[in-house]
Every structure is written in structure tokens, then in C-alpha cells.
Amino acid sequence: MAYLNPRIAALVLALSIALISSAAADSLSVQAEQAKDVQYLKAQMTAAVNKVEQFRKTVVAKRLKDPSIDSSTKECVKVCQEVYDGAIDAMKKGMKSVQSGDFFKANFDVSAFFTNIDTCDDCFSEFQQFDQWAKGVGSACLDKIVKYRS
């Protein structure tokens, strides 16, 4: 068996400790960033759910009651009411997925939110403006989620 010089052994030990410490610090940094991103996501996703619920209860409900809109437009608004409900459900599922650390599922959930919101671009200009806001929130959330979905 070869004899290891004590100085070399001390150097190898010091390097090993430095590498382990650096890896641990990097891991803590990633964990801290993820915790910060989870808080951001919770806030944004909660705000999106609240805003979609409010929009559905006010603007969509108002349009459904408007006697001046034709039957095809009314059907469009009814579909929007349903898909906004779907968007709310998808975002709530996404919130649960983020909270549990399942970013892969959260990616699907927030993508479903996007799809539901996108369905109503054609009814009224106020729906388009709202949809653009909702898509912006969804996009910001997806940007954070995809960092952790592996």
C-alpha cells in the first residue's frame, strides 16, 4: 500500500470539505430561490383566481343579462362562463400542485388555465383585454414553474 504524504492528505481533505461546503451552499441557495418562487406563485395564482371569479361574476354576468345581444353572442358568453370556471379550477389545481412541490403537474394545470382563458378572445373587446391580463399572469407563473418541473 502506498504511503500518502500528510500534506497531500490534508490538502485533499481541505479541497473535499470546500467542495462539499460549496455544493451545500448552492443547494441552500436553490432551495431559498424555490421557496421565494413558491410564495410568488401562490400570490399570483391566488390573484388570478380572484380576478377571474370577479370578472365572471360581473362582466360575464352583465353580458348574459344584456337583452340587446343576439343569440350567437349570448352562446359565446355562456361558453366563456363555463371555460372561466374551468380556468379557475385549473389554477386552483395548479396552486395545490405548486404547494405540494409537483411542478410537473403544475405546468399542466397552468397550461389548462391558459387554454381556457384563450377560448374567450372573440366575444367582446373587454374579454380580450381581460384575457391578455390573465395570459400575462399565466405566462409569468409558467416561467417560474418550468424551472422546477424536473
Tens digits of residue pLDDT in 14-42:
555 655 555 555 555 767 888 898 999 99
Task: Supply the CATH number for residue 88's domain.
Answer: 1.20.140.40
Query: Angle at CA 69, nearest 5°, toward 63 and 73?
Result: 80
Number of domains within the chain: 1
Q: What is the pLDDT of residues 69-109, one digit of tens each?
A: 888 888 888 988 999 999 999 999 999 999 999 989 999 99
- On whether residue 14 sits in a domain, the answer given is no
Q: Indicate the DSSP class of residue 68.
A: T
CA angle 115, 82, 65 (to 5 degrees): 130
Q: Can you give the pLDDT at residue 109? A: 94
Does 7 map to a domain? Answer: no
Rounded to whole angstroms, the Cα distance separating 50 from 29 reads 32
Confidence of residue 124 (pLDDT cuts 50, 70, 90): low
Task: Give me the domain span that covers residue 84.
Answer: 34-145
Low-confidence winner among 61-75, 84-98, 128-142 (lowest mean pLDDT): 128-142
